[in-house]
Amino acid sequence: MKNTAAKGTQDILPEISSAWEHIEDKFREICQLYGYEEIRTPTFEHTEVFARGVGETSDVVQKEMYTFEDKGNRSITLRPEGTAGIVRSFIENGMNSLAFPVRLFYEITAFRYENVQKGRYREFHQLGVEAFGAEGPFIDAEMLAMLQHFFKALGLKQINLEINSLGTPESRAVYRETLLGYLRPHKNELCEDCQARMEENPLRVLDCKNDHCHEITKSAPLILDYLDEESEAHFNKLQELLDNLGVEYKVNPKIVRGLDYYSKTVFEFISENVGTQGTICGGGRYDGLIKLMGGQDTPGIGFALGEERLLLELEAQGVLRNDRPVADVFIASLDDEALEAAQKLSQELRYLGIRAQYELTGRSLKAQMKYAGKQGAKNLIVLGGDELSEGKAAVRSLVEKDKAEHEFDLDHVEVLADYLKN
């Protein structure tokens, strides 16, 4: 038996889970400020959903999916990302008839069979949004401003936003041919992956992390020179709106996001701290996707953000917040009778919103007090003796050492609770 976590998976232990919670709470809070509501779709889907929704030529579909046959002979895949399942759900649940834009956010685990390294795992966490039914560049700008808001709320000082436009399918088709014309003479110099995917998805070569491929694409034709009028207007307006909203960005014509269905705006937030896995968040407009998956032609735009990479970035910038909850009070007990009273008092205090702990393992009084201190409990009550018989208990602060003890009447727990809250 293998007693280790499967390769590429990680335990998130209590010692760090508060940092995760903080990020997720903030994300939810910011999403709601912008009118997004949560959607939860299944962890697995029919393989078809991702094959179509993520794109047959993508690395994700070709190499990275966890696909298996279930006992009913269906081909099932663990979700490698969020968008495809959400689009499936959007269509299936007739969300087309809702008032546009339909704004959805999600917090999920995703699964990809990857080369495991720092910032790249086989089970990982994504935060993301999708907005359906808004065509113009305003929502694109708002989404980027929202991400900036989120990063600021987490305390990040610096994170680079790079944007690009992939144009419409028509303008992209022209660019694709031009790019192929440029790449073909260099084919033998490209990495194996790029050689294999060049003909079906030449734009992907621009995105390759291999140094040599990078060198070759340096002088490749740029997609921005091939935009049609509509896409160019959209992209120009987006930049104007970003300036207006005070969102800093850089235009990078090499950002392609690899997937066939992206159109017009694409973007990435890139960090210098997460090693070669520098993309913390990627997204863009996917106006053709819903139709491609069998729905009515509806524009869409979204992003997905890797939580593990965000955590690494927060850590690198020294702003990772990991406030573990500590007890407001620890109730020590002198004997069995006191222990019963401690349990009851804890219960009453918890109902009043106080984080109360008491002794459960039979420690000596001295050990109880040491334990309370080690746990970081803010206050200490020792129950027992004459005091308890009189229905009284004294609170001592473990944080402010010279604060005087306060005595309370156990018949008025709400007074004690009020005191502990402050």
Binding site for ligand ATP (CB under 6 A): 81, 112, 114, 119-121, 124, 126, 277, 279-282, 304, 306, 308-309
Of 131 and 417, which has the nearer Cβ to ligand ATP? 131
Distances (CA, A) of 136 to 70, 113, 241, 286: 42, 36, 11, 13
Of 36 and 111, which has the nearer Cβ to ligand ATP? 111
Give the number of other CB atoms < 10 A from CB of residue 403: 12
Of 311 and 356, which has the nearer Cβ to ligand ATP? 311
Least distance from ligand ATP to the Cβ atom of residue 57, Å: 13
Cα–Cα distance measured from residue 366 to residue 19, given in angstroms and rounded to the nearest whole number: 32
Closest CA to 55 of 204, 268, 238: 204
Cα–Cα distance measured from residue 114 to residue 120, given in angstroms and rounded to the nearest whole number: 7
Which residues lie closer than 8 Å to 302 by C-beta, 6 or more apart? Answer: 83, 128, 129, 130, 131, 143, 283, 284, 286
Least distance from ligand ATP to the Cβ atom of residue 369, Å: 44
Cα–Cα distance measured from residue 127 to residue 202, given in angstroms and rounded to the nearest whole number: 29
Residues tagged in the binding site annotation: 81-83, 112, 126, 130, 257, 261-262
Least distance from ligand ATP to the Cβ atom of residue 281, Å: 6
Least distance from ligand ATP to the Cβ atom of residue 285, Å: 14
Of 80 and 299, which has the nearer Cβ to ligand ATP? 80
* Position with the least CB separation from ligand ATP: 306
Least distance from ligand ATP to the Cβ atom of residue 55, Å: 11
Residues tagged in the binding site annotation for L-histidine: 81-83, 112, 126, 130, 257, 261-262
Of 113 and 419, which has the nearer Cβ to ligand ATP? 113
Tokens at residue 85, please?
């399942």
Closest CA to 387 of 331, 322, 346: 331
